[in-house]
Structure 1
Amino acid sequence: MDNEIDAEALTALGHPGRLAVFRLLARRAPHGVRPSEIAEALDLKPNTLSVYVTTLTRAGILTTWREGRSVYYGIDLKRVGALVDFLVNDCCRGRPELCEPLAARSLQRLAAHRDVGARNVLFVCSGNSARSQFAEAILNSDGNGRFRAYSAGTKPNRRLNPEAVSVLTAHGHDTVGLKPKAVANFQLPGAPVMDYVITVCDQAANEDCPPLPGLPLTAHWGIARPSATLGNDRAAAFAAAYVAIAERLERFMALPVETLDALSLQNELDAIGAARVSGKGA
């Protein structure tokens, strides 16, 4: 990248509104997001969003594509990676620890503890009343001690969804003591340090939450909200959400996380989130 392009990219990110769009898309990367969803999540008028994404696209930071009749925006990961390389090589003199000691220490922690003990995994959805609870229960039950699973909500409900409790019980999980918790609980001193944070609903992924200690690897495994289904199909929607999460976790548990490096793990987590799930099964 030349200096003019670098300057254009940094200028494009130097506006609070454009930066908010970039950060939302970064949280959803490598997946794309519809303009209507971005506007709703950030409370932007459509014409304001259009101005923001035009500037970011012109700077090469965003890319756009169509799937059927829908338009999606996403981060140009190669371009952003080149911008980060510029900042490290040019501004930090090739020594990232000079610019960001916390990041450097956290990456060293990840490498040093790759083959020690169980990995901590936090599953996040908006209410922490169904999908993230499914993920926590399944991984703790089937992870063979390799993982310690937790769950939390960005806006936790007061109690678990009764239909979610029925599904958990039907699959043999003990629901005694389960209750929705806030993500903020895992930012407190003494909270377990996470190795992975996985959002399982789009609403939670769209929200701008402070990063958790330790710079865990993150991924988005969007699962449709079962409580949005009405009528006779509602129970089936909860059952399908459980199975869809179980299918993704089956792939996750098959990964040799003890030996994969951070970049390979990130690629695998993203691939799991992008894979189609049947939502069918026992």
Structure 2
Amino acid sequence: MEIELTDRLTMLSHPQRMAVFRLLMRRCPDELPAGEIATALDLKASTASVYLSALTKVDLISQRRKGTQLLYAVNLNAARDIVSGLFVDCCRGRADLCPPQFSDLIRHIAPIDDKKLNVLFVCTGNSARSIFAETLLRDMAGDRFTAYSAGTAHRSELNPFAIEMLKSKGHDVAILRSKNIEEFHRTDAPQMDFVFTVCDRAANEDCPTWPGQPVSGHWGMPDPVKAAGTDTEKRLAFHQTYGALHNRIAAFTALPFENLSRSSLQKHVDDIANETARQE
């Protein structure tokens, strides 16, 4: 175990190998092709291949072939082993030394309190997908959740097709506005219980750590704003995106939150992304 731990720590001591690992952690549970990883991190294809091979060798990430592509995903068990190897023994003997952000891996986490939970949906532009998600959660379970959305781009506007779609479904759009993610990193911003990325580009970005260690999830889907063709074809793309997000949020709001620990919630959030993606 000690040799395995030191091998993995040595592997992650390289900044760019660490960047690959962190990217795959942010995109968990997605499997990414090598080309997308190279593009996201601005690496040459050959360089990315070397890093991916090295991380696979020590089992920090997994590799799977699909047709002509090699797909990569983070190995969460290996990540947990690293944290446990570094902190569990010291924390059992000296609880005051245990880093708060690792407490979920060491002791039982009490179920989330009976309170209204804050949920943030993040996309690049905050013009369609994240706006759909915010509106859906507010209207489907606004008594239990406070829904927010934001974009990582500095300037964006609500997409007219998105607004048209929401109006056609009977949603109130008067309170909607396009927001930048910096608004939610201010000291007076509400603390999030859940943060979901709904586009791959936003998930690929290295964002600041969220206060309070919210449960995070990646519910990536194609951007309807980029749909080409006639207005009818564009409206169909928005309809499909709306439906996909409706399925995810319906599954999310149906979870028995009062009976789940934080770690259990994280697994359910990941499962929702996998199961709904297979159905679409």
1:161 aligns with 2:165: no
Distance 1:251 1:95, change over 3 A: farther
**Which residue is 1:40 aligned to?**
39
Contact 1:226–1:237 under 8 Å retained in 2: yes
Which residue number corresponds to residue 244 of structure 1?
A: 244
Specify the SS of the correspondent of 1:231: coil
Q: Name the residue aligned to 1:22.
A: 21
Confirm or deny: 8 A CA contact 1:88 1:94 kept in the other structure: no
C-alpha distance in 2 between matches for 1:120 and 1:221: 17
CA contact (8 A) 2:152 2:202 kept: yes
Partner of 2:257: 257
The runs of at least 4 consecutive aligned structure 1 residues that moved more than 3 Å come to 90-97, 101-105, 276-279
Q: Which residue of the partner structure matches residue 137 of structure 2?
A: 139
Q: Secondary structure at the match of 2:257?
A: coil
2:68 corresponds to which residue? 69
**1:196–1:217: 8 Å Cα contact kept in structure 2?**
yes
Task: Tell me: CA distance 1:214–1:58, structure 2 relative to 1, closer, same or farther (3 Å).
Answer: same
Write the distance in 2 (CA, Å) between the matches of 1:83 and 1:117: 33
CA deviation map 1:145-176 (0-9, x unaligned): 01111001111543101111111111112222
Contact 1:118-1:146 at 8 Å conserved across structures: yes
Structure 1 residue 138: Cα displacement: 0.6
2: CA distance between counterparts of 1:231 and 1:85?
52
Please report how far the alpha carbon of residue 179 of structure 1 lies from its aligned counterpart in structure 2 after TM superposition.
Answer: 1.9
Cα drift, residue 134 of structure 1: 0.3
In structure 2, distance between residues paired with 1:143 and 1:96: 38
Q: CA deviation at 1:89?
A: 2.5
Partner of 1:174: 172
Could you say if the C-alpha distance between residues 160 and 94 of structure 1 is closer, same or farther in structure 2, counting changes exceeding 3 Å?
farther
Aligned partner of residue 184 in structure 1, secondary structure: helix
Q: Which digits, 9 at most, give the CA deviation of each residue in 1:234-275, with x for residues without a partner?
A: 110011101110011111111111221112111110011112
Instruction: Pick closer, same or farther for the CA change 1:130–1:230 going to 2, 3 Å.
Output: same
- Taking the aligned partners of 1:96 and 1:251, their CA distance within structure 2 comes to 37
Q: 1:258 to 1:58 in 2, by over 3 A?
A: same
> Which of 186, 189, 196 is residue 188 of structure 1 equivalent to?
186
What's the CA shift for 1:194?
0.6
Instruction: Please list the CA deviations of residues 43-99 of structure 1 after superposition, one character each: whole Å capped at 9, or x if unmatched.
Output: 111011111112211222111002233221111111221111101134555656514
Find out whether 1:12 has 2:20 as its counterpart. Answer: no
Equivalence for 1:84: 83
Q: Distance in 2 between matches of 1:209 and 1:72?
A: 24
Q: Which runs of 5+ in 2 are unaligned?
A: none
| Structure 2 residue 220 is the aligned partner of structure 1 residue 214 | no
Q: What percentage of residue pairs aligned between the two structures are identical?
A: 44
Post-superposition shift, 1:104?
Answer: 4.3
**Number of aligned residue pairs:** 275
**Cα distance in structure 1, aligned partners of 2:59 and 2:255:** 34
TM-score by length of 2: 0.91
**1:191-240 CA-partner distances (Å, limit 9, x unpaired):** 11111001111111111101111100001111111122100221100111
Q: Hey, what's the Cα distance between the residues in 1 that align with 2:58 and 2:215? A: 27
* Offset at residue 102 of structure 1 (A): 5.4
Alignment of 1:263-274 (within 5 A): 263-274=263-274
For residues 115-135 of structure 1, give each alpha carbon's deviation from its aligned partner in whole angstroms, at most 9, with x where no partner exists. Answer: 322111001111111000000
Q: Secondary structure at the match of 2:80?
A: helix
Alpha-carbon distance between aligned partners in 1 of 2:120 and 2:95, rounded to the nearest angstrom: 27
Are 1:186 and 1:212, in contact at CA under 8 Å, matched by a contact in 2? no
